[in-house]
Amino acid sequence: MKKKVLAMIMTVAMAVGMLAGCGGKTEEPAADAAVTESTTTDTDATTATSGDIKVAYMAKNVVDAFHVGMNGYVGEQLDKLKEEGLITEWQLFDATTDPAIQVSELEDAINNGFNFFLLQPCEAAGSDPVVLRCAEEGFPCVVINSTTESTMEKATGYAGSDDELAGEMMGDYINEKVPGAGTYVHMMGVVGSSAQIQRGAGIEKTMTADKGWTNGGDYAAEWLAEKAVGFATDAITQYGDKLTAIVCDNDDMSSAVQAYCNSVNRSDIVCIGVDGNEGPLTMVKEGTLGATVYQDGIGQCDYAINTITRALLTGNTDGVEMFKTDIPFVLVTSENVDQYLK
């Protein structure tokens, strides 16, 4: 697989040189050598033809606030790469958070000549065929935000954060705010996504029985505010005053659940989630939500495109950290919310 990706990168580098007008005689042997290398080391490698770098941005969805912001930024950066002549075109493919659609869209993209892939996975297992197919065919595949099962072994690069740490940060915050513990419930994202799995692990690591916690249930709210509010309603009815905290895998859920709790005279229930979108940050500023864990989605996209992808397109990967896993999370409270609310 590495030979196939190398062949693709070398051909991309040759294309960039030609697009920049470097067609002098002194550079022709190098270009020919690149072609020879790509054909002799791995004859079945699928490579872009010179000047024909088509990027498929395989987005998770185009509706939730966190991904809308990421999608907009990715589009701006890909437009810049196109203006610079590093790519010829790009297209967004919307998976609507469905891994089956994501896998199907990969096939459509390949059939339409796309040969460089930016992937936001819907699920760790369900979206993994995208990474595996790209590796098999020799297409560069840069994964953003969350991982699939084989990302770290088969993808060309990755930019993201430590989601287990995000779960721990939520748990630590609640432990501080609810020293008497009690019963908590967990509103999960799409079950099987790496963020859901890892954030859940962090929550379980910090909100433990020896600290007085009882897990009242892990609800498959699928990142959706309305589902989370429905489950929260059931949990309040079931556990009453014993319910002291609701931990959510994202901010769409936590902000909606906290607003509901506040509306039914249960503002004592501590809610927290991950992302740091404008709405939840505004609630933190107003004092109607205690905190959020800010996830730097723009930073993830920036590293994926302007560091990893740019390095691949220019053939200059020396010294580049191709698998970046430590783009930081930040706990945002009333003390530092002004730094993140724009």
The first and second tokens of residue 323, run together, are 């698998």
Q: Cα(133)–Cα(270) distance, rounded to whole angstroms?
A: 43
Residue 60 contacts residue 121 (beta carbons within 8 Å): yes
32-80 per-position pLDDT tens digit = 333 223 222 232 333 333 458 999 999 999 999 999 999 999 999 999 9
The first and second tokens of residue 27, run together, are 């550079």
Residue 342: the pLDDT is: 80
pLDDT at 13 over 90: no
The first and second tokens of residue 126, run together, are 């369900």
Please list the residues that pair with 331 across neighbouring strands.
Answer: 293
Q: Cα(279)–Cα(273) distance, rounded to whole angstroms?
A: 12
CA distances from 134 to 2, 100, 188, 314 (A): 11, 16, 29, 20
Residue 6: the pLDDT is: 45
Residue 99: the pLDDT is: 97
What is the residue-averaged pLDDT of the chain? 88
Residue 242: the pLDDT is: 98
Q: Cα(327)–Cα(201) distance, rounded to whole angstroms?
A: 19
298-311 per-position pLDDT tens digit = 999 999 999 999 99
**pTM for the full model?**
0.84
Please list the residues that pair with 295 across neighbouring strands.
Answer: 329
Q: Walk me through the domains of the chain, giving residue ranges and CATH numbers.
A: 2-160+298-323 (3.40.50.2300), 163-295 (3.40.50.2300)
Amino acid at 4: K
Q: Cα(58)–Cα(141) distance, rounded to whole angstroms?
A: 10
Residue 39 makes CB contacts below 8 A (sequence gap 6+) with 7
CA distances from 96 to 20, 58, 59, 120, 265 (A): 37, 10, 8, 11, 35
* Coil, helix or strand at residue 152: helix
CA distances from 276 to 66, 246, 279 (A): 8, 17, 8
The first and second tokens of residue 20, run together, are 């920049």
